[in-house]
Copies of this chain bind each other. A is one copy, B any other.
Amino acid sequence: MSLAGIAGLLADRTRAAFCLALLDGRAWTAGELARHAGVSPSTASEHLSRLVAGGLLAEERQGRHRYLRLAGPDTATMIEDLCSYAAGAPDVPGPGAAAAGPKGLRESGRHGAEARARTCYDHLAGRLGVAVADAALARGLVADDAGLVLTPAGLDWLAGLGVTAAELKGSRPVVRGCLDWTERRTHLAGAAGAALCRRAFELRWVERIGTGRALRTTPAGRRDLRELLGIEVPV
């Protein structure tokens, strides 16, 4: 796939809205995405087929539903990187394809719940995600040495949570900084970020609010986060 080909897949407001929504790491149905982007089911169907054919999305058919998710962490990273670049680029109204309609990603910041805590692909984001990243840095679990790295102390800390070292092996970076939309600061991504998020769900530190990407911190989560990281999560 050429550079123009990949860019072309993301160059449409509707398709971009799909990818942005799927950045929460979950599988959406075609209809949900259509409603989210404000287009008809038939239009959404065509767009989704193109994104799947282009390798950005993976699909899974179950009964009368077509579930769609991002093809993988590398795709999520690519889209995040592009977003973070776009966030820093000047806003040119112009007659181009960038007409800022009501479908922007602005709306994701509207909901206070999402700003507090949410998933970003497969890791924690929002104020909670940034607080975790800050605490991990302050406690020496990760270090910032021209890029984030997991320290031996961090490895131990994760092991105490039940994350095995084997889980962190693979082609994925162990820890990676990911720019947070609402906070404009970095939170933890990569294999360790994903593992931590998974354990946060399993230990019921957090749970989903409805069907969106927003998270609620449970009393158990507040207790453990305070003990383990010194984070005070407001109720």
Contact = CB atoms under 8 A, between A and B. Distances in A.
A112 B210 CA distance: 58
> What's the number of copies of this chain in the assembled complex?
2
A94 B7 CA distance: 15
A3 B79 contact: yes
Contact of A8 (B74, B96, B104): B96
B147 A89 contact: no
B85 A74 contact: yes
Contacts of A97: 4-5, 8, 11
Contacts of A20: 3
Given A82-B82, A173-B146, A88 B74 contact: yes
A89 B81 CA distance: 17
A54 B1 CA distance: 24
Interface string A1-33: 111111111111101100110000000000000
A12 to B, nearest CB: 6
A2 B94 CA distance: 13
B2 A98 contact: yes
Given A11-B11, A149-B146, A98 B5 contact: yes
A134 to B, nearest CB: 19
A79 B10 CA distance: 14
B11 A85 contact: no
Contacts of A147: 146-149, 173
A203 B85 CA distance: 35
Contacts of A53: 92, 94, 96
Given A2-B98, A6-B86, A82-B82, 10 more contacts: A1-B90, A3-B16, A4-B11, A4-B97, A7-B9, A7-B10, A11-B11, A11-B97, A74-B88, A147-B147
